[in-house]
Amino acid sequence: MDDSGNEVAAKGHATTTGVTYSSTANYIIFRDIDVSKNAADTSNTNWTPITFSAIMLGAKSATPGDASTLWNGIDQNAGDAVTAQAVRPTISNVTVHQTGELDYSKGSGVGFFATISNQITLLERGTQLKSLSETVVSNIRLNHVNVSNESTKPKDSKTLVSIVFDVLKGVLSGLGWVLDKITSVIPGLNLDLEGVLSGLLTLKEQDPSIFATGGFAGRIDGKVTVSNCEVADVAVSNVKGMTGGFVGYTTGQTEYELLSNVLGGLVEVLSSILNAIPGLGLGDLVHWLLNGNLITAGDLIPIGYVNPTLSNNAVTNFRENTVIGSDTQDYAGGFVGNQIGTIIENSTVTSANAYTVKARYYAGGFSGVVRNGTMEGALNNLGVDLINFAQPQSLIENSTVSADVTVAAGSYAGGFAGAMANSFAVNDTLTGMYDVSASGVTVTSSDNKEEVKALAGGFTGAATLGWVTDLGKQDAGSTNLLKGVNKILVEALTNGQDSTALLSLVGVDPSAILGVSMTGTFTVHSDNDYAGGIVGRGDGAIIAASDSQHLDDFAFWKHGKRTMPATVRNNEVSGLKSVTVKGSYAGGIAGQLGTASIGGVINDTVGLGGFLPFEVSALTVTGVTDGGYTVTATGDYASGGIGKATGGYIGKATTAYKAKDADGNETNNVPSTAGVTLDNVAAVTANNYAGGFMGTSGPGDLVGSDGLDLLGLGLLEIKGLLSVAQGVMVQAKAINVNGVKQGMTVTASGKYQAGDVVPYVAGGFVA
């Protein structure tokens, strides 16, 4: 095509024009493409994943016979968006088959795209590390897609160093770097160029996300927007971890200011290195600097956080017998495997064929895990300004799974998400038949005791605080913000300042499930402890309506990054069939809900008395029409609602609607819809503590076993401020439990034996 859109004869063979792909060039896809045909090599139908960091728009003309309409699909003002006139082009017959050792110097991740990421810039002579510009991929459809990764090992970094070094020598020579300067020691780093490359490539070699696999992209990293894209007729497989129908791994990036001038004279060389290694992100550079002791955490000041945004994307129809993930690997989901600090909105997984999601840890019908990002470094002030434009949480809003789905994990299995850590699910929908199970993973605790984890939930296996406070404790290095927040948090508390923003920034904030709709048939099972119709285990978790009174408590909405949903929804589960555990803690709503304890925070800045209480309100759970639902625990604590509840608010007891009128008087206009109703409950059975709504209930405890205790993380070291008093009791109002027509049975099956000191109890409402 010429500049006017007219078709002209190619000069020479189309494959030898000298034009090559560039990951930083902008592209418009203006026609359908069949990539099963390779003009340069007709015997090769395998697509090589591409790395991309620019703008790529799909904009096929609605009237392709009229060349003058070619540009009508591009928004001439924005430049990075399409208009309503743009027809989405289809790229068909995409086959990606990754084998052998993975060469991560050419690209990380496996999919049509290997990695979609922003470019990185070093500003102010290397004292600021920031995202350069937003990468945009929009309005592209992939059809008949088969992506498989069979690689289990990366190429040896030592082999790759010499290859990349030769490339960079030429680049840097063009920038005026002579050979002796390239091979000499770089001031401030005590490394030559090969040493820098070796450190960065070794770090990349150890990064498990290089194997991340997805139908659309393996990895999405940083300041990226992917919108109105679809993967249809898809099969995805991966012998390693982080697998998703759309994307395997997606993460945000923290932007930093460096107090050290160690990078002052290296802006050009580091920029060239970052551009020479595809998929090398800002986080990689920061970890290399920290791990190599080239800077300290005190030199690294976070100044922002950029969340990737995935909007209006779809996975449509998995192939028959598709299995996403494997029993031996972690992070698998129908849409995304590992979601870190990422916003996903208005996206769908729809399949006429049933599909299965498997993982050792973290398997979900939509997302394997939904978690906050971990910010490194230190804060030099209260951090209130930072929280206004840095929200490292993840969000899935107004997104749907419509299919028959089997989710099987060792632990953290969920019909929608395997687990949630300081993240939010708002107005999301599940429809179909869901079989969710956790078979158990044996782990060794810090005191060398073996325990089995097997958490499962109809929506999510666990809903808890930030990643390094609980689920990802093993990732809690000495440089994350949570470790370095003591001093300024103490100052905030002693000066009477509000510390909630700071605590949210470091992940000491709950997860929320607001306005969820689950319709179909749901079966949930754990081979050990914790299974629930919605949540297996929740720590300070919020299950409530998606209204402003709840959303305004969370950073995305409080600081204006997100607008309120167009529709306020209550929570509904219709079609619960059974919840079973071979151990303890089973419930039609949750196996256990408890407080999350903030050791040392004793005034009212967080929750009440240092607690983050759970909440369950605006919820209806209904059993299947044929026979109702059953809840069974071989061990203790089973109920039609919550197996064990400690420290929280249920139904119209919620405190979310408390406010002050113009005269300063407190009001509490709780809507009538805030109550909780269980319908069509057939039977509840446990060895002990069986109840129609709760197996047992009681207060939370700062240092007890019923809440998530953060004391061991060194969050606060303030003598005299730690309170070990009992906290919030369970308060419930407007709760209804309705059995099946034949009558609901509640049974404590344990039998008293001589010498027993614990009575066996069961109750129609609470044991």
pLDDT of res. 529: 97
Task: Outline where 320-460 has alpha helix (H).
Answer: 384-387
Task: Quickly state the pLDDT bin for 449 (edges 50, 70, 90).
Answer: confident
Quick one: which of 703, 728, 726, 720 has its CA closest to 494? Answer: 720
Segments making up each domain of the chain, as ranges: 14-86+94-204, 430-442+511-767
Rounded to an integer, the average pLDDT of 310-321 is 98
pLDDT of res. 492: 53
Rounded distance, CA 353 to CA 614, Å?
A: 37
| pLDDT > 90 in the chain, percent | 54
- The yes-or-no verdict on residue 730 having pLDDT over 70 is yes
More confident residue, 72 or 483: 72
pLDDT of res. 702: 41
Bridge-based pairing state of the strands 128-131 and 120-123: antiparallel
Quick one: which of 556, 571, 564 has its CA closest to 616? Answer: 571
Q: How far is CA 459 from CA 101, 405, 412, 532, in A?
A: 37, 12, 11, 9
Kindly report the pTM of this predicted structure. Answer: 0.89
pLDDT of res. 724: 36
DSSP 231-299: EEEEEEEESSS-EESSEEEEE-EEEEEESS-TTTT-HHHHHHHHHHSTT--HHHHHHHHHHTTSS-GGG
Strand pairing partners for 684?
Answer: 631, 746
Judged by average pLDDT, the poorest of 116-120, 534-538, 551-555, 608-612 is: 608-612
What Rg do the C-alpha atoms of the chain give, in angstroms? 27
Rounded to an integer, the average pLDDT of 212-225 is 97
Q: Which helix H or strand E contains 747, and what residues bound it?
A: strand 745-748
pLDDT in tens, 101-113: 998 888 899 999 9
Q: Kindly tell me the number of DSSP H helices and DSSP E strands found in the chain.
A: 10, 61
Rounded distance, CA 296 to CA 253, Å?
A: 19
pLDDT of res. 604: 32
Quick one: which of 592, 549, 568, 545 has its CA closest to 689? Answer: 592
pLDDT of res. 79: 72
Q: 3-class DSSP state for residue 170?
A: helix
- The yes-or-no verdict on residue 20 having pLDDT over 70 is yes
**Identity of the amino acid at 260:** S
- The yes-or-no verdict on residue 715 having pLDDT over 70 is no
Rounded to an integer, the average pLDDT of 501-523 is 84
Q: How far is CA 510 from CA 31, 541, 561, in A?
A: 46, 6, 18
More confident residue, 467 or 695: 695
Q: 3-class DSSP state for residue 340?
A: strand
Q: Cβ contacts of residue 100 below 8 Å, gap of 6+?
A: 151
pLDDT of res. 302: 80
pLDDT of res. 390: 78
Burial of 132 (0-12, 13-18, 19+ CB in 10 A): middle
Rounded distance, CA 454 to CA 524, Å?
A: 11
pLDDT of res. 356: 99
Q: Note every long-range contact of 192-196, with CB atoms under 8 Å and residues 24 or more positions apart, other chains counting.
A: 193/165, 193/168, 193/169, 193/269, 194/161, 194/162, 194/165, 196/269, 196/270, 196/273
Rounded distance, CA 416 to CA 522, Å?
A: 12
Which two structure tokens, joined as six digits, stand for 493?
């508390």
Vertex 340 angle, CA 147 and 405, to 5°: 50
pLDDT in tens, 124-175: 555 677 777 899 999 999 999 999 999 999 887 777 676 666 666 665 555 5
Rounded distance, CA 763 to CA 688, Å?
A: 11
Rounded distance, CA 26 to CA 140, Å?
A: 14
Which segment, 34-43, 587-596, 737-746, is predicted with the most confidence on average? Answer: 737-746
Q: Cβ contacts of residue 86 below 8 Å, gap of 6+?
A: 57, 58, 59, 60, 72, 73, 74, 139
Q: 3-class DSSP state for residue 388?
A: coil
Quick one: which of 656, 627, 393, 624 has its CA closest to 503? Answer: 393
Which two structure tokens, joined as six digits, stand for 654?
């919620």
Q: Cβ contacts of residue 149 below 8 Å, gap of 6+?
A: 98, 110, 211, 213, 237, 238, 239, 240
pLDDT in tens, 237-252: 999 999 999 999 999 9
More confident residue, 45 or 410: 410
- The yes-or-no verdict on residue 10 having pLDDT over 50 is yes
Rounded distance, CA 363 to CA 361, Å?
A: 6
The region, left, alpha or beta by phi > 0 then psi within -120 to 50, assigned to residue 577 is alpha
Average pLDDT of every residue of the chain = 83
Which two structure tokens, joined as six digits, stand for 436?
């969710």
